[in-house]
Amino acid sequence: MDPRIEAHAEILVDWSARVEAGDDVVVSVGPDAHELAVAVAGALGERGANVHATYASGELGRAYQLAHDGDFDEDPDHELALYERADAVLFLDGGRNTSEGSDVPPETREAYSKARQGVREARLDTDWVKTVHPTRSLAQQANMSYAEYQEFAYDAILRDWEALAAEMAKMKEVLDDGSEVRLVKEDTDLTMSIEDRVAVNSAASVAYDSHNLPSGEVFTAPHATEGEVYFDVPMTIRGERVQDVRLTFEDGEVVDYSAAQNESVVGDILETDAGARRLGELGVGMNRGIDRFTDNVLFDEKMGDTVHLALGRAYGSNFPPDREDEANASAVHVDMITDVSEDSVLEVDGEVVQRDGTFRWEGGFDE
């Protein structure tokens, strides 16, 4: 077996999910994630955990949902009972076609998703981790050869997570101690308040309340946004390629926008509800193993030397425990990414934190 697959399994089980002997684990296996599943089963066996493997196939889901009359039973007993008793759920994504759900009517998908809300909540109540096995389908989506995509994915996944967590802790400290963030780059001068917010050190481990592998970002929930921002990293939003989005904020709300391609997608998002015109997230990408856009949000938003902002819903984890209801509410959460590796400055309370892709503690400039 490719030693990278075994290393991936070890990180997933030990660093990310913190599995221990006797844990009841569900392993969700994508049809092309078989090899990773074998490695994960070995790692779980070695640790004395108990494994139940599920089959996560987009083709199965599509066939089931298309054939059903759409009046789905709520939270089937058997599946709910499984997840309610699970200690951890490991999602090994890896399908054969990222467009498999494209001909399922959105209302059918929504009805199914709504009927399984209890099952979903039970899953999120475990030490769950979502990761991905590099597949040919994802290589295609990234416009890369399979071998090159494997290198890319393992560069992102097989990191020294303890070291990265320590580095990200510095960024978290800066944000936790700060009141205002300012981002300046080409066509961008944006200020946001982060007063009374808690930054999350998303270090790819449940011990950090971080449930993605790879991860590698520090994020918070900004408000009172003012100014302009330009997103130069391409994105796929709702199946459409969106390029060169520009937003103008006043009093925390988007008052003007443009895009070089599929501008109407941005307009549709902003029209969703009041919360969609406000920011729900400011994230600082710090995973330098990810050095390019691959059209997969699991990787893209963690890219090193990028900053992303999300329109819409904020995460409760960015608020003090008794103030989670202050989080911006919206039906959407849409991430947009901007490159800060060159000709850019990120400041907190007037002090530079990152300049031209170099952080203060990396010594690239005077503190």
- Point out which residues bind its own copies (CB under 8 A): 22, 24, 26-27, 29, 31, 34, 37-39, 41-46, 48, 50-57, 59-61, 63-69, 71-73, 76-79, 81-86
- CB of 60 vs its own copies, minimal distance in Å: 4
- CB of 29 vs its own copies, minimal distance in Å: 5
- CB of 83 vs its own copies, minimal distance in Å: 8
Concatenating the DSSP letter of every residue in 298-361 gives HHHTTBTTEEEEEEEPPPGGGS-GGGGGGS---S-EEEEEEE-SSS-EEEETTEEEEETTEEGG
| Identity of the residue, 98 or 272, whose beta carbon is nearer to its own copies in the bound complex | 98
| Identity of the residue, 25 or 269, whose beta carbon is nearer to its own copies in the bound complex | 25
| Identity of the residue, 45 or 267, whose beta carbon is nearer to its own copies in the bound complex | 45
Gap between the Cα atoms of 158 and 104, Å rounded:
35
- CB of 102 vs its own copies, minimal distance in Å: 16
- CB of 109 vs its own copies, minimal distance in Å: 13
CA 251-255-258 angle, to 5 degrees, is 140
| Identity of the residue, 95 or 304, whose beta carbon is nearer to its own copies in the bound complex | 95
Closest C-alpha among 110, 77, 283 to residue 199? 283
Closest C-alpha among 14, 75, 20, 83 to residue 54? 83
Distances (CA, A) of 89 to 56, 120, 123, 132: 13, 11, 7, 14
| Identity of the residue, 78 or 367, whose beta carbon is nearer to its own copies in the bound complex | 78
Q: Which two structure tokens, joined as six digits, stand for 336? A: 């947009």
